[in-house]
Chains A and B, each alone.
Chain A
Amino acid sequence: MTVLATATMTLSELKLHETAYVDSVTAGPHGSGLVSRLHAMGFLPNQQIRLIRKARMNGPLQVKVGSTTHVAIRLLEADMVIVRPVLMPNSESETES
């Protein structure tokens, strides 16, 4: 059984290769337009996401959203995404397709 943290954090605070579930997307400096864009890209409540890699020089994050979408997102925008990290995953190993 997957165990989630009770406390939320932002996507930008997530550690590399860590998995989390989206809690909500807050309206940042860019207003509701960006919120709906992020929703359309898959940052929907209860969607599973995973931090795949960070670009160098504090560049954008590569986030896997669900099982088939990859999104590049800057740290500033990643701050808008509130997540609950997974404390105990239900499976240990990755499955190859």
Chain B
Amino acid sequence: MSGCATCRHGCHGPNVKLDISKKPAQRRVAVIGQPNCGKSMLFNRITKAGAHVGNWPGVTVDLLQARVDVDGITAEFVDLPGLYDLEGYSEDEQVVQRFLERTPVDLILVVANASQIDRQARMVYQVRQLGIPAVVLLNMADEARHFGIQIDTSLLSQRWGLPTFLISAKYGQGFDEAFAEVAHELHETQRIQQPLIGMRERLAEHRPSDQEIYSVLDGAVTMPPADQVSRTDRIDRWVLHPFIGLPLFFVAMALVFALVWNIGLPSQALAGWVTEWMQTYLIEPVIAPLPDGLQDFVLNGVWNGVATVASFVPLVVIFFFCMAAIEDSGYLSRAAFMTDAFMAKLGLDGRGFVMQIMGFGCNVPALMGTRVIRSRSMRLLNMMIIPFSLCSARLAVFVFIIAAVFPSTYGWAVLFLLYVLSFASAFLAALILQRHKHFASVEPFVLELPPYRLPTIKQVLWRGWGEVREFLRRATNFIILGCMAIWFLTNYPIGAAGINTWGGQIGQWMAPVMDPIGVVDAHLTLALIFGFIAKEVVLGALATIYAMNEAGVAQAIGHALTPADAIGFCVFTLLYTPCLSTIATIKAESKSWGFTAFSLGFSLMYAWVMAYAFRYLAIAIGL
């Protein structure tokens, strides 16, 4: 059972720490494996860097890397996208091929799901064929034990000719021993200077038969009987039930939003109290000696905007933790299974539904997640509708507007309706667009349904924190600049006020377009214009424009907007361009300016038409 036969380094854990110096790494280690083998979690454990972990094929799309000091050698670990076949054709698989053909790698860690070794052994063979030193890590030992799987790692090490270990990256079992071997390999091997030129040709030279690959497992691996009923099978009977499966899914989502609303709002008041305290006891005393105009700039041009956005951080934190837990649980693949037949009618597949949900966090990773789709037309169609997914930045705007305009007892229901609208608008857009030949596609749908996994608290915190850090980085950069620009536009020319300022003039000029959708205040128009940068800026902008703190703005908005106007404003905010980062990602992923421009133009018109329709619908029903 133990891999100690190959553990020449002694079984104590090597001395590992994250290296943040600038000197070049001495060794490079690539981590490869199939989707859902826990590769990212292993990467997290090695690098302590908080890489993204997802229980969904293809979630690690960017190449995460971290430099680690291993017993005095600086090694750069690169987490490659999950792939099924080193000779595969999907974009993700080509990313790995391109990486290996261009970058010299000194050591490969082949990660496989121990409980699925009966079908994941081909990659071990492929890596062995590359001729690069490699260590095989059979991950998820905890799950394998649960299934009753027996693995003789020393026999496998012998037969494969590669050191093989059974580990659990999630709980740490067997990790130190395996990593000691990794450290040993790094110290023993010479630096490799050349990348694997002609890797695909090398693999094609000899393709071992299934017989050759899987006979190695005979006697070394004992799988459970195929008719064994697992915990996952029992849960699936309810979760995938033909009639209650989907309703159960929507109830689960509604519960998440109710939770975010009911915990998030009080936490927001708390955060508001903290920023107010900081303003009174820190900011105001510090800027007191400055001239009045400058004081006004610091307080209303920068501080109010930043403080308003900051007050939404607790809410966003709670939201991301919930999303991380759902993503890591394996539930989203089930959602793909249940919705696939419906999505097929829209020219998409079940994965498209999941990408809309992933977009709830942030549209950018969801857009990058489309790389698992092989057909370009289907991928583009997905990229057209992902920006309609209600991301966390828009969540902050909506929570603010809803809390200001609607009674708090059913505020969460209005919020949930906005999520439903986000889905409905995305699907309607797909339904319209798929008629065009550019978006018509033939794409196979074969998707793994991983076992349900209970995410550990640590894992959820790791994941959630990574996302929150990203949100904060974006928020602070864009918001400070956006608020400063808005302050200038709404305070100049000197002596002007209201609609006579530059900002007011812009709003006035846009009024014929914006009035019909409920954006009746020139200042709101200005906020929406700056919302192009990022949706959090809308909030900061409102605080800056009204030159008040959060509570004050909420009151002012509550007076200025009727519920129907608020609906128009929210629908427009939901559907027009999410942010500059999204546009940049659409350009980078589609590699087409034409498509990017089309996506931008389409969403603007679509947002206007929908906002118009919903505002008048609201007026018609008497709101």
Interfacial residues, chain A to chain B (CB-CB below 8 A): 19, 28-30, 33-34, 36-42, 44-45, 47-48, 50, 52-53, 55-60, 62, 64-74, 76-77, 91, 94-97
**What are 6 inter-chain pairs, A to B, with CB distance below 8 A?**
A37-B85, A55-B240, A55-B338, A77-B444, A96-B228, A97-B230
State in angstroms the CA–CA spacing of A71 and B349 once bound together.
Answer: 15
A77 surroundings in chain B (CB, below 8 A): 444-446
CB-defined interface of B83-117 with A at 8 Å, one 1/0 digit per residue? 01101111000000000000000000000000110
Cβ–Cβ contact B227 & A70, under 8 A? no
Cβ–Cβ contact A60 & B85, under 8 A? no
B13 contacts chain A at the CB level, 8 A cutoff: no
B85 surroundings in chain A (CB, below 8 A): 36-37, 39-40
B336 surroundings in chain A (CB, below 8 A): 72
Chain B residue at minimum C-beta to C-beta distance from A71: B448
Cβ–Cβ contact A60 & B341, under 8 A? yes
Cβ–Cβ contact A34 & B446, under 8 A? yes
The contact of B340 among A67, A68, A74, by CB within 8 Å, is: A74
Given contacts A59-B344, A62-B449, A66-B223, 14 further A-B contacts (CB under 8 A): A33-B88, A36-B84, A44-B214, A47-B119, A56-B242, A60-B341, A66-B118, A66-B119, A68-B116, A72-B449, A74-B349, A74-B445, A96-B229, A97-B230
Cβ–Cβ contact B333 & A40, under 8 A? no
Cβ–Cβ contact A72 & B226, under 8 A? no
Chain B residue at minimum C-beta to C-beta distance from A59: B341
Cβ–Cβ contact B340 & A55, under 8 A? yes
B622 contacts chain A at the CB level, 8 A cutoff: no
State the Cβ distance, B351 to closest chain A Cβ, in Å: 10
The contact of A55 among B210, B227, B337, by CB within 8 Å, is: B337
Cβ–Cβ contact B224 & A97, under 8 A? yes
Interfacial residues, chain B to chain A (CB-CB below 8 A): 34, 84-85, 87-90, 115-116, 118-120, 122, 146-149, 210, 214, 223-233, 236, 240, 242, 333, 336-338, 340-342, 344, 349-350, 374, 442, 444-451
Cβ–Cβ contact A67 & B223, under 8 A? yes
B118 surroundings in chain A (CB, below 8 A): 42, 47, 66-68
B449 surroundings in chain A (CB, below 8 A): 62, 70-72
Chain A residue at minimum C-beta to C-beta distance from B122: A40
The contact of A69 among B119, B337, B442, B444, by CB within 8 Å, is: B119
A47 surroundings in chain B (CB, below 8 A): 118-119
State the Cβ distance, A59 to closest chain B Cβ, in Å: 3
B227 surroundings in chain A (CB, below 8 A): 19, 50, 91, 94-95
Cβ–Cβ contact B147 & A68, under 8 A? yes
B231 surroundings in chain A (CB, below 8 A): 97
A19 surroundings in chain B (CB, below 8 A): 226-227
State the Cβ distance, A48 to closest chain B Cβ, in Å: 5
State in angstroms the CA–CA spacing of A41 and B445 once bound together.
Answer: 13
State in angstroms the CA–CA spacing of A69 and B223 once bound together.
Answer: 12
State in angstroms the CA–CA spacing of A91 and B225 once bound together.
Answer: 11
Chain B residue at minimum C-beta to C-beta distance from A53: B240
State in angstroms the CA–CA spacing of A30 and B444 once bound together.
Answer: 7
Chain B residue at minimum C-beta to C-beta distance from A56: B242
Chain B residue at minimum C-beta to C-beta distance from A28: B444
The contact of A95 among B115, B147, B229, B442, by CB within 8 Å, is: B229
Chain B residue at minimum C-beta to C-beta distance from A96: B229
State in angstroms the CA–CA spacing of A44 and B212 once bound together.
Answer: 13
Cβ–Cβ contact B446 & A74, under 8 A? yes
Cβ–Cβ contact B84 & A40, under 8 A? yes
State in angstroms the CA–CA spacing of A48 and B225 once bound together.
Answer: 10
Chain A residue at minimum C-beta to C-beta distance from B213: A44
Given contacts A68-B115, A74-B340, contact A37 B224 (CB under 8 A): no
Given contacts A36-B85, A57-B342, contact A74 B444 (CB under 8 A): yes
A45 surroundings in chain B (CB, below 8 A): 210
State the Cβ distance, B38 to closest chain A Cβ, in Å: 14
Chain A residue at minimum C-beta to C-beta distance from B120: A40
6 cross-chain pairs, A with B, having the tightest CB-CB distances, nearest first:
A59-B341, A42-B119, A40-B84, A57-B341, A70-B449, A33-B89
State in angstroms the CA–CA spacing of A57 and B122 once bound together.
Answer: 35
State the Cβ distance, B352 to closest chain A Cβ, in Å: 13
Cβ–Cβ contact A62 & B337, under 8 A? yes
A38 surroundings in chain B (CB, below 8 A): 446
B338 surroundings in chain A (CB, below 8 A): 55, 59
